[in-house]
């Protein structure tokens, strides 16, 4: 493989993985930007969905990607219930309470998964898992390509909903001026419910993707909470639109460090810490709106 091809491969690998990051992080950004809620248990919804993907494929032979609409709907409802039962009571109590609660839920769900499914790593082999397409000597994993395409479709869909629909405008209005929105009759409860539903729904789709190209284990989600936080901090807290490029930066830098640094794959897992650090220093006082 030539130096140019190596560079190209590293770049493409980074871009291919960034779709999952964007999907996972946009949910965090939505919850923070609209509901002003920092959900440390966000990754655990990914984890649960990854197990669901593995269960659906190994027990019924259902392809996780094709099950996306069903799983999204299911987890949208789960997100709405999550909002009603656990999130809403702590919303007015302040950030510390939110962090303590969601950190607790995160640990609870991790251990629940450990009891129910055990600590072993579970994988499935969908027919296209090892299939690749090659252009100019660069390999595109078919599964990863499909996943990136699905992520793009979902994110573009989200932006279209936010920009062009009634409910999208209401979501942005509540995000920017909750009091102003209430005074023109917008039911913020409904908006919060929808925002959390979409956030958890997107997390579940990312989890299904994980089941195809990665694996499921009790801790798999927490990593995505951290990486998602890195993306969200870099994009500007709550900025759903900045999530795209921040995810690309995370995916590509992980990939390059993995390829070009000695023992790089170990270091690439830590790059998100640098992003959080850099993001916090650069954007120390900004909170964005949807």
Partner 1 sequence: MNTPILEVTNLSGGYGSLQVIWNLNLTVHEGEIVCLIGANGAGKTTTLRLLSGLEKPMQGEIKFQGISITNWLPARIARLGMTHVPEGRNIFGQMTVRENLEVGANCSPEAWRKKEATMNYVLNLFPILKERANQLAGTLSGGEQQMLAIARALMTCPRLLLVDEPSMGLAPAVVDNVFKALREVMGNGVAIFLVEQDVKRSLKLAERGYVLENGHIVLKGTSSELMEHEEIKRAYLAV
Residues that bind partner 1 (CB under 8 A): 166, 169-170, 172-173, 176-177, 179-188, 289-290
Residue 220 CB, nearest distance to partner 1 (Å)?
A: 35
Q: Tell me the DSSP string of the chain.
A: --HHHHHHHHHHHHHHHHHHHHHHHHHHHHHHHHH----TTHHHHHHHHHHHHHHHHHHH---TTTTHHHHHHHHHHHHHHHIIIIIHHHHTT-HHHHHHHHHHHHHHHHHHHHHHH-SS-B----TTSS-EEEETTEEEEHHHHHHHHHHHHHHHHHHHHHHHSHHHHHHHHHHH-HHHHHHTT--HHHHHHHHHHHHHHHHHHHHHHHHHHS-B-TTHHHHHHHHHHHHHHHH-BT-TTTHHHHHHHHHHHHHHHHHHSTTHHHHHTTHHHHHHHHHHHHTTT-B---
Tell me whether residue 186 or residue 203 sits nearer to partner 1 (CB atom).
Answer: 186
Tell me whether residue 178 or residue 278 sits nearer to partner 1 (CB atom).
Answer: 178
Tell me whether residue 36 or residue 169 sits nearer to partner 1 (CB atom).
Answer: 169
Two structure tokens written together for 189: 């409860």
Find the length of the chain.
290
CA distance 246 to 264: 21
Tell me whether residue 24 or residue 186 sits nearer to partner 1 (CB atom).
Answer: 186
Residue 155 CB, nearest distance to partner 1 (Å)?
A: 19
Q: 149-160: string of b/e by CB count within 10 Å (b at 16+)?
A: ebbeebbeebee
Residue 169 CB, nearest distance to partner 1 (Å)?
A: 5
Residue 290 CB, nearest distance to partner 1 (Å)?
A: 8
Tell me whether residue 63 or residue 177 sits nearer to partner 1 (CB atom).
Answer: 177
Residue 178 CB, nearest distance to partner 1 (Å)?
A: 9
CA distance 32 to 217: 26
Residue 173 CB, nearest distance to partner 1 (Å)?
A: 5
Tell me whether residue 134 or residue 179 sits nearer to partner 1 (CB atom).
Answer: 179
Residue 72 CB, nearest distance to partner 1 (Å)?
A: 25
Residue 153 CB, nearest distance to partner 1 (Å)?
A: 25
Tell me whether residue 98 or residue 170 sits nearer to partner 1 (CB atom).
Answer: 170
Tell me whether residue 70 or residue 167 sits nearer to partner 1 (CB atom).
Answer: 167
């Amino acid at each position: 493989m030539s130096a140019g091809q190596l560079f190209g491969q590293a770049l493409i690998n980074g871009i291919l993985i960034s779709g999952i990051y964007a999907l996972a992080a946009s949910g965090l950004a939505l919850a923070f930007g609209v509901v002003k809620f920092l959900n440390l248990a966000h990754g655990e919804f990914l984890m649960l969905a990854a197990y669901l993907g593995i269960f659906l494929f190994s027990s019924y032979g259902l392809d996780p990607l094709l099950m996306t609409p069903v799983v999204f709907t299911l987890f949208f409802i789960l997100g709405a219930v999550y909002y009603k039962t656990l999130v809403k009571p702590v919303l007015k109590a302040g950030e510390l309470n939110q962090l303590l609660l969601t950190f607790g839920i995160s640990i609870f769900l991790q251990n629940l998964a450990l009891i129910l499914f055990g600590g072993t790593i579970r994988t499935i082999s969908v027919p296209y898992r090892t299939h690749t397409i090659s252009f100019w000597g660069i390999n595109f994993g078919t599964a990863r390509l499909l996943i990136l395409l699905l992520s793009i479709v979902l994110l573009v869909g989200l932006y279209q909903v936010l920009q062009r629909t009634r409910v999208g405008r209401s979501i942005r209005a509540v995000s920017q001026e909750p009091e102003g929105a209430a005074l023109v009759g917008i039911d913020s409860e409904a908006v919060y419910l929808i925002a959390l539903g979409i956030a958890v729904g997107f997390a579940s789709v990312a989890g299904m993707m994980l089941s195809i190209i990665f694996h499921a284990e009790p801790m798999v989600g927490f990593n995505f909470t951290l990486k998602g936080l890195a993306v969200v901090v870099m994009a500007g807290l709550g900025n759903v639109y900045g999530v795209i490029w921040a995810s690309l930066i995370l995916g590509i830098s992980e990939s390059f460090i993995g390829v070009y640094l000695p023992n790089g794959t170990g270091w690439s897992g830590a790059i998100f810490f640098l992003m959080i650090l850099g993001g916090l220093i650069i954007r120390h006082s900004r909170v964005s709106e949807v």
